[in-house]
Amino acid sequence: MLNIIINKSHKGNYTRFEGIMEERKSFIVSKKRILFTGGGTAGHVIVNLALIPVFQKEGWEVDYIGSKDGIERRLIEQVPNVDYYPVSTGKLRRYMSMENFKDPFKVMKGTMQAWKIIGKRKPNVIFSKGGFVSVPVVLASKLRRIPSVIHESDYTPGLANKLSIPFTNKVLATFSETMQYLPENKAEYVGAVIRDELFQGDKARGLTLCGFTKEKPVLLIMGGSAGAEKINNVVRESLDFLLTEFKIVHICGQGKVDSTFDRKGYIQFEYVNEELKDIFAITNFVISRAGANAIFEFLALHIPMLLIPLSRAASRGDQIVNAESFQEKRYARILEEENLTQETLKQELIQLKEYAPLMKEQMSEYKSEKSRDRVIEIIKSIAK
């Protein structure tokens, strides 16, 4: 009888031990890791910033590979519980330069660095937002046999994504028209991924931040994360007219605030991050470059926009095509940078105010909520 009691006791302890080990095993197996990459401009980071909190909330470990000194490092290091790893990058220039001869070696070095990081961190999946820093990461993911997903924001694929697409498992498009430029067997149109926080802006905080009252509509001016010298100059030269019609928030770019233009109703910022949602909450109209992520945010928030895309002389022309697509759908008006003067700016803003009700009506038909959920679903479906 005593042996039976002892055996039963041991059997019960062993069963409980097995249960504990199974729980630990289940926890270890279910703990997943995702590695993000993308950089060079804020546009190559914004979508990542929208996705990271979702994966963290679901218990995923998150790592990020970016450049040593790029804007992505400043933005990502503000996000809690994300380990940042810098790698060597080339610039992938489209013009003749002695630096072009060095870039392949930088990419090779970055690929080996990314290969080591991926081997150490062992992510289940890699998500790339593009930019030159993403190329060595996607190459390394292929070498490590880690599945990857690329997100292309622009109407036509950028050079970095063109180089990376052969090595990825899936490429996602923001514009439906982009599908014609992508391999059919791995491409999917998903739409724009918009940060939830942008819908949570507070008008009272925005007005207080800018020192504004409500008697005039607010015009937001953005030249991209690096600013835009010609836009900045023409706006400042046009303040006498602009301030009769608007309160103005001018995001100028790093080092481009000009304190000599100290006018009531006109406020300048180098760059805005956390407060951007509150500024969006008070914005009635926007003048902007035509980077895809930015214009889709304005679309989701139903802000009528005047787009001044980067010229073909200064880019591959992607912003021009982005802007033309939005103008065709009556979401925006376009003013080419070559035609930007005080007079043309004045004329276009008058037209923007006139057509704003029609633009908002068109914008109301665009639904962005499902895009992020679909991107997350795809990432999870290919995770190793």
Give the CATH number of the domain where residue 36 resides: 3.40.50.2000
**Across 212-228, average pLDDT:** 84
What pLDDT is stored for residue 106 in this prediction? 85
What pLDDT is stored for residue 192 in this prediction? 92
pLDDT tier, 2 (very low <50, low <70, confident <90, very high otherwise): very low
Pair 144, 268 in one domain: no
Q: What is the rounded average pLDDT for all residues in the chain?
A: 89
Pair 232, 111 in one domain: no
Residue 101 has pLDDT above 80, yes or no: no
Pair 44, 165 in one domain: yes
What pLDDT is stored for residue 5 in this prediction? 45
Percent of the chain at pLDDT > 90 equals 72
Residue 259 has pLDDT above 50, yes or no: yes
Phi and psi at residue 197, in whole multiples of 5°?
Answer: -60, -25
Q: Which of 180-184, 218-222, 356-360, 370-374 has the lowest mean pLDDT?
A: 370-374
**Across 98-109, average pLDDT:** 76
Higher pLDDT, 146 or 104: 146
**Across 290-297, average pLDDT:** 92
pLDDT tier, 315 (very low <50, low <70, confident <90, very high otherwise): confident
Owner of token pair 């400042």: 236
Pair 68, 188 in one domain: yes
Residue 226 has pLDDT above 80, yes or no: no
pLDDT tier, 124 (very low <50, low <70, confident <90, very high otherwise): very high
**Pairing, β 148-152 against β 61-66:** unpaired
pTM of the predicted model, to two decimals?
0.80
Pair 263, 324 in one domain: yes
Pair 42, 79 in one domain: yes
Does 18 reside within a domain?
A: no
What pLDDT is stored for residue 26 in this prediction? 45
- Which residues span the domain enclosing 128? 31-193+368-382
Number of domains in the chain: 2
Pair 74, 127 in one domain: yes
Whether residue 360 contacts residue 338, with contact meaning beta carbons closer than 8 Å, is answered with no
Pair 359, 374 in one domain: no
Higher pLDDT, 136 or 310: 136
Residue 215 has pLDDT above 70, yes or no: yes
pLDDT tier, 96 (very low <50, low <70, confident <90, very high otherwise): low
- DSSP output for 148-208: EEEEE-SSS--HHHHHHGGG-SEEEESSGGGGGGS-TTTEEE------GGGGG--HHHHHH
What pLDDT is stored for residue 19 in this prediction? 54
Does 220 reside within a domain?
A: yes
Cα distance between residue 331 and residue 312, in whole Å:
22
Does 5 reside within a domain?
A: no
> How open is the CA angle 31-37-42, to the nearest 5 degrees?
130
Q: Which is nearest to 231 in space by CA: 306, 320, 330, 295?
A: 306
pLDDT tier, 225 (very low <50, low <70, confident <90, very high otherwise): low
pLDDT tier, 61 (very low <50, low <70, confident <90, very high otherwise): very high
Cα distance between residue 126 and residue 113, in whole Å:
15
What pLDDT is stored for residue 30 in this prediction? 57
Pair 135, 214 in one domain: no
Does 25 reside within a domain?
A: no
pLDDT tier, 16 (very low <50, low <70, confident <90, very high otherwise): low
> How open is the CA angle 176-181-183, to the nearest 5 degrees?
100
What pLDDT is stored for residue 4 in this prediction? 46
